[in-house]
Structure 1
Amino acid sequence: MGFDMVSLLDAFFRRAFTSAGLRPGSAAVDADTTIHFWAHPSLLLQPSDQQQPRPVVVLIHGFGPDPTWQWAAQAGPLSRHFDLLVPALLFFGASATRAPARSDAFQAAALAALLTGGHVPGLGASRTVHLVGANYGGLVAYHLARELEQQQGQQGGGVRVGKVTLCDADACWGSEDDRALAARSGAADVAELLAPGDTRAVRRRWMMSAYRPFKHIPGCFLRDLFRKHFADNREEKMALIKGITAREGFELTPLPQEVLIIWGEFDQIYPVEKAHKMREKLGEKATVKVIPATGHLPQQQDIKRFNRVLLDFLLQPSSTSNGSAAAK
């Protein structure tokens, strides 16, 4: 069998991570749950008293291929300023659990255990951790910020959350949105779109995610992509979609941190007006930045602009005055 394009891209995206100084690791956060991740080596060592630690950015992926595919374009630019930690969510890649829960809140609890349970030795009370989540990962990032804040309040210390970035992550989702998305996409239901069950469904997802997508994608590429990045743990992923907390009477409320909401102007999965609805729910510390001429994946479709918006937010001193704006 020849060296297919998906394998070539796998190697390319992993190379982007290793070039940014990231190394793979794993941790059993409890008796049932193991999380695999990429991390800067400084996070895997006990911190030095003489060294001033850099802030940490945790990049949380959404439904789709391996996290290296989803964050390859951000790893290098972010690593010049921050130490990165990029986990694979449960049932993505090799991360797995025997626990029965299937929700974004449960994913967040597992990540909180990774960050606070001594599994990442370089994290301590002196480290500021910024959370960046895309799509489903944005829902996890919101819950993780809540979880870490609660732990810090109860324990009087621990990991301190700095800022939170939510990228095309609709935490105001409801059953009417399910029906509208299924109608727009032509999928039988939302689960079939987010967790495709065959090559045809992968193509539909591609057409919905991209802005002005290239329509003539070779079938062999889609087959390999499905086999290597979508076929595994599909039953569990379907359960995760059904367990999204926004469907269960969940109420989005403000976070104590500054929040940046980044959205693709022409997102066909989560329409851009949802970004402004989220800002209203999250309050005065939330800001919206719309990336022009992009769809559901602005971090891949306008890499330079997305990275500039994200870095400007993470690097600027904390401010008490925020508002809604469009990216320039």
Structure 2
Amino acid sequence: MAKCFSYTATQDSCYRYSFSRAGLKSSTTDLGDGTIMHCWAPKTHNQSKPTLVLIHGFGANAMWQFNDFIAPLKSKFNLYVPDLLFFGDSYTTRPERSESFQARCVAAVMDAQRVSGTMDVMGLSYGGFVAYSMAAQFPERVGRVVLGCAGVCLEEKDMEDGMFQVKSVDEAAEILLPQTPEKCRQLLRLSFYKPPPVTPSCFLADFIEVGNKF
């Protein structure tokens, strides 16, 4: 029997409406060589405002992580919110998987949007690594940088020494990109100080199914 309702897909539609209502438009840029980048960009770029790029971490797409921040920031900045490659509507057929390649793609999107001058960049979690790489590769383009929950100085031996509850990058990836309801619950337990006491498996399975389509 076909599923008639998806909470996750419905929530995604609500986020799209919220971003559009905040004055952002969905924009897709073909960077060539099989690389497509999606970005939420201002419907009208105001030259009197500074530019702020919000770079998400692991998750379904940028909307899910930044929706609550768009309204308070839009009056002060020209907001650009890209989907990193392999999240949302961004993808590539090229073999590169590094944060430096992600950073170059975000910078290329900003060039395609004809954003001149410096831009401020905020990166959350994995997005922090990308933001850090942008600042390192394009110091003339990047002004202020904010890194949230991003261990840019982390070394593999830190995991081996027991700094985290996971023992390897592969184990962390299995939790950050869960493929089973139990892995989702593990992510919630590790992410929240007070995780939800009960989360139905059907809800978690729906999130995984819709998220895999992003």
TM-score, length-normalised on structure 2?
A: 0.89
- Paired residue for 1:124, among 105, 116, 126? 116
The answer for the alignment partner of 2:147 in structure 1 is 166
The answer for the alignment partner of 1:5 in structure 2 is 7
Deviation at 1:98, TM superposition (A): 1.6
Measured in 1, the distance between the counterparts of 2:55 and 2:165 equals 28
Q: Number of aligned pairs? A: 210
Return the letter of the residue paired with 1:171: V
Q: Give yes or no for contact 1:54–1:81 (8 Å, CA) kept in 2.
A: yes
Measured in 2, the distance between the counterparts of 1:178 and 1:190 equals 10
Deviation at 1:232, TM superposition (A): 4.8
Deviation at 1:188, TM superposition (A): 7.7
Q: Percent identity?
A: 35
- Paired residue for 1:198, among 180, 185, 200? 180
Bigger RCO (CA 8 Å, 6+ sep): 2
What is the 5 A alignment of 1:162-311? 162-179=143-160, 180=162, 183=165, 189-229=171-211, 231-232=212-213
Measured in 2, the distance between the counterparts of 1:37 and 1:52 equals 19
The answer for the alignment partner of 1:250 in structure 2 is none
Measured in 1, the distance between the counterparts of 2:84 and 2:180 equals 22
The answer for the alignment partner of 1:21 in structure 2 is 23
TM-score, length-normalised on structure 1?
A: 0.60
Deviation at 1:5, TM superposition (A): 2.0
Aligned partner of residue 133 in structure 1, secondary structure: strand
Measured in 1, the distance between the counterparts of 2:20 and 2:191 equals 27
- Paired residue for 1:141, among 131, 136, 141? 131
Q: Give yes or no for contact 2:159–2:166 (8 Å, CA) kept in 1.
A: no
Aligned partner of residue 32 in structure 2, secondary structure: coil
Aligned partner of residue 166 in structure 1, secondary structure: strand
Aligned partner of residue 179 in structure 2, secondary structure: coil
Task: Choose 1 or 2 for highest CA Rg.
Answer: 1
Runs of 4+ in 1 over 4 A off after TM superposition: none
Structure 2 gaps, min length 5: none
Measured in 2, the distance between the counterparts of 1:203 and 1:146 equals 36
Q: Give yes or no for contact 2:33–2:94 (8 Å, CA) kept in 1.
A: no
The answer for the alignment partner of 1:110 in structure 2 is 105
CA distance 1:103–1:232, change in 2 (3 Å): farther
